Every structure is written in C-alpha cells, then in structure tokens.
Amino acid sequence: MKIKSIENFNLTAYNAYRINAVCAKAWFPENETDLLEIFSQNKNKRLIILGNGNNIILSKEYYEDEFIILNGCFDKVKVNNTEIEAEAGATLLQLSETALKHCLTGLEIFYDIPSSVGGAVVMNAGNKEGEIKDILVKVRYLDLADRQIKEITKEDIGFEYRNSFFQKQTDKIVLKAWFQLKKGNPEQIKVKMEESKQTRWAKQPREYPNCGSVFKRPPGRFVGPMLDELGMKGFTIGGAKISEKHSGFIVNTGNATGKDILAVITEAQKRVKEKFGVDLEVEQRII
C-alpha cells in the first residue's frame, strides 16, 4: 500500500506555536515498515521528524526538507496487564486516558502535558511531581546509523533533566515505548488527573498558542522571576510576546513567525546574561 504523503504541506496546525510554515513534502507513516521505507527512499535527504509539535520552533517559512509527521498516525496504544505499550505518535493525553480506563495509576501527572510519546521520551517530559523516566521500562527505536530497529532499557537511556540519549543522538528515532503502571482506584486516578490539569491551567497561558516552557531551569535559579525582575513580562517582537501570565512562556498573539520568537529569546538571553550572569539554555527544539 502506498504511504500517504502531501507535497507543499502547510505545518501551521502541526506546531503548537501555530507558526505558518510550509515543507516541500510531508509523509504520514502508519507503521514501522512505512517508516523504514520512507528512510530507504530518501537516503541522501534530511528528513525532519515532527511528533505532536509541542516543543518546537519552526524558524523558516518554507522548508526544502521533507517532514515525517507522527501526529494522528503511528499512534497505537496497547495494555498488557499493568504495562502500557504505545507508539511514538500517541499523545500523553491518549496514554493517561487509556490508563484511567484500565484502572492504572502512574500517568496522572502527564494527563495535561501536551506531548507525543516520542517527544516525551526524548525530552524526559515531566514536572516537579515526576518525569517520564519514572514509569518507563524500555524503548524501541530505529537507528539510522545502520537502519536497524533496536531496543534499549530505561537504565541505558541516560536520562537527565529534560534530556536523554535520544536528544543527544538525533539519528536514533523513537518508535515505541513501554510504561510500567500499578492498579489503582479509578475515582482517585480521575481526581488526580483533573487536579494536575487545573494546576497547569492556573499558571500557564493556555489562551494563546505556545510551546510550554521556553528555557531550561538554570541551577539554583528560576527563569520566570529573573525575567520579571527585568520587566520583560509582555515584551513583544512582531506577534511573539513573553506571557504576562508566566514569563517563562512565549505566546503567539497572532501571526508570529519563528524569527519573532527567536528574536524574543535572544533579547531575553542577552538581558539575563547582563544582569545575572546566567546563560539561558533553550528547552525547545529549533528547526
């Protein structure tokens, strides 16, 4: 069967900043065979993988590159007793709702984290209550170095704060992950999911398109208070603005380009370095 692909594909709906960008071609694989086939057909091309588009900044308006989109596809989820097996394109929302349906606890805090499974593993997604590594068992991935499919256990992934083996080695593509949960009370699981969601919505600017926290937290510091002290809440370039609700976020107030967002980031980094001597590291992936 022919793999679905679209020429000159508009990526606006596929990135959480809602930046208007187009790629030369987009591929939509349904399974591992499709993915291997796409890489075989395009041996000398740069292929960009896009999951749920929640932690990325599209810096260009047009990409000569082709994109592989794992969003609305490559997203099967299976439950084996207390273990959940999920393909890279599945979302954490999908995962936590499946866990609830099967009375499994351990995923509640991820309920409202906007991410695909692949992205969550690469970034070690989480919050102060926990990280994806806490429930992960193993990962199946495609190694582009030798085009072999391999598996790696949690212990060998080298997880750190918002970092992993997969972030450092971009030729290793997450295909699937297994998560170990525990049996729980569905009412309690549901309550915890809702509490987690409300906590995030109370602090975060969900009314505008954004990609979550822009900068990694520097040792012994918090980004938000530093930017507040510099009076950068509401700082705007083009359609990109440092959120007035939480200055660790940049929002698209309308028609922001990737360049606008990067310009706001550069200015914030410059001012923080001048005032506090701190180098702010961008948590989001710039494409």
CATH code, 191: 3.30.465.10
Write phi, then psi, for 126 (nearest 5 degrees).
Answer: 165, -165
Q: Are residues 110 and 192 in the same domain?
A: yes
CATH number of the domain encompassing residue 223: 3.90.78.10
Q: Are residues 196 and 209 in the same domain?
A: no
Assessment of whether the complete model's pTM goes beyond 0.85: yes
Q: What is the pLDDT of residue 18?
A: 97
Q: What's the domain range around 253?
A: 205-286
Q: Are residues 98 and 176 in the same domain?
A: yes
Q: Are residues 97 and 184 in the same domain?
A: yes
CA 255 to the chain's CA centroid: 22
Q: What is the pLDDT of residue 108?
A: 95
162 is catalytic: yes
Helix spans in 126-222 (H): 165-168, 186-203
Q: What is the pLDDT of residue 199?
A: 86
Q: Are residues 115 and 219 in the same domain?
A: no
213 is catalytic: yes
Q: Are residues 182 and 262 in the same domain?
A: no
Query: pLDDT digits over 126-180, tens only?
Result: 888 889 999 999 999 999 888 899 999 999 998 887 778 888 888 899 999 999 9
Give how many domains the chain has, as a whole number.
3
Query: 149, 180, 201: which is the final residue of a domain?
Result: 201
Weakly modelled stretches of the chain, pLDDT under 70: none
Q: Are residues 144 and 229 in the same domain?
A: no
Q: What is the pLDDT of residue 247?
A: 94
Q: What is the pLDDT of residue 134?
A: 94
CA dist., res. 15 & res. 55, Å (int): 8
Q: Are residues 223 and 275 in the same domain?
A: yes
Q: What angle do CA 196, 192, 195 make, to 5 degrees?
A: 40
- Given the residues 96, 164, 213, 243, select the one marked as catalytic: 213
Q: What is the pLDDT of residue 169?
A: 86
- Given the residues 162, 196, 247, 271, select the one marked as catalytic: 162
Q: Are residues 124 and 196 in the same domain?
A: yes
- Given the residues 66, 87, 108, 283, select the one marked as catalytic: 283
